[in-house]
Amino acid sequence: MSLQTAGIHHITAFAGDPQANVDFYAGVLGLRMIKKTINFDAPDVYHLYFGNEEGSPGTIITFFPFPGARRGQIGGGQVGFTTYVIPPGTSAFWKERLYRFGISVVEADRFGEHYLQFKDHEGLQLELVERAEGAASTWSFAGVPAEKAIKGFGGAILYSTNPQRTAHVLESVLGMEKIGEFAGFTRFRTTGELGNLIDLPMSAVPRGAGGAGTVHHIAWRAKDYEEHEMWRSVVGSDGYQPTPVIDRQYFNAVYFREEGGILFEIATDPPGFTVDEAPEALGEKLMLPEWYEGKRAQIENGLLPITVRVPKKI
């Protein structure tokens, strides 16, 4: 039985101050904060989710913001760059917007595409690329009109300590197709319209260190619960050690570390982010899973207040 993921479900990273995190991803990038919850494994820390209006798989970046967190070091065993897709013809708008926020942009070409590469306020590496693929955004915030807004992930650049083995897991386990090589990168493609192109530098990258401004894990899509069970056995039968299925409220998760050091997750598309909030109210209230509701007052008291707001530089 061979399975094929449609692409990235979400990417999860570490951050420091939660308000600065909201200001960058909602305020500068114009994404919607679709969920404000806590780290289910450490309820004194937020878990913030940013995506398109609906919080569709393939658009969601999530953060654990630890106030005062030490910076990490980007390196092998991590996602190196998180790639976002913008509509064709909008690069100039984004370049100008990033410039206005004092963010330096490096322009790079890869596989015939033009990338705007930059860092968030804590050093997390991001890039924008124009592509026609992927449904247009319907969300407009902080001076980013929907027709120029980020549509979701284009993919990612994976920094591996063992690229040959990471290539193996992408092809043989996740079912991606190797489609090209360019300047030391191998490109893999899968079926989704977003989060479907993964670039892997084929020279080993020295190991990084976790901390603010680094990615913790990358999650790949499973279309339903039945397929998710199959994914767990596919991962296990290839010699990786998957965790049991874990209920993450908005999706079910299985994690395993691939041999290049990157923590992979397989996450289900269902039930999605409207399971506990109406679509128009996503992200407004602190959402807790049932098992933490009894401690709501204590949890809320331990978290710094955050607001989604339009940044002053607009």
User: Judged by CB under 5 A, which stretch of 19-27, 186-194, 195-203, 264-272 contacts Zn ion?
Assistant: 264-272
Are the C-beta atoms of 208 and 76 separated by less than 8 Å? yes
Q: Which is nearer to Zn ion, 12 or 252 (CB)?
A: 12
Q: How far is the CB of 11 from Zn ion (least distance, A)?
A: 8
CA distances from 174 to 99, 194, 196 (A): 38, 16, 11
Which residues between 215 and 244 bind Zn ion (CB under 5 A)?
Answer: 219
Q: How far is the CB of 212 from Zn ion (least distance, A)?
A: 18
- Is residue 249 at the binding interface for Zn ion, with CB under 5 A as the rule? no
Burial of 247 (0-12, 13-18, 19+ CB in 10 A): exposed
Q: Which is nearer to Zn ion, 48 or 219 (CB)?
A: 219
Exactly one of 5, 8, 11, 12 binds Zn ion (CB under 5 A); that residue is 12
Count interface residues toward Zn ion (CB under 5 A): 3
Q: Which is nearer to Zn ion, 199 or 265 (CB)?
A: 265
Q: How far is the CB of 150 from Zn ion (least distance, A)?
A: 20
- 280 CB-near residues (< 8 Å, 6+ apart): none
From residue 154 to residue 193, what is the string marking binding to Zn ion with x (rule CB under 5 A)? ----------------------------------------
- Is residue 265 at the binding interface for Zn ion, with CB under 5 A as the rule? yes
User: Judged by CB under 5 A, which stretch of 29-37, 150-158, 229-237, 260-268 contacts Zn ion?
Assistant: 260-268
Buried b (16+ CB within 10 A) or exposed e, 40-65: eeebebbbbbbbbbbbbbbbbbbbbb
Binding site for Zn ion (CB under 5 A): 12, 219, 265
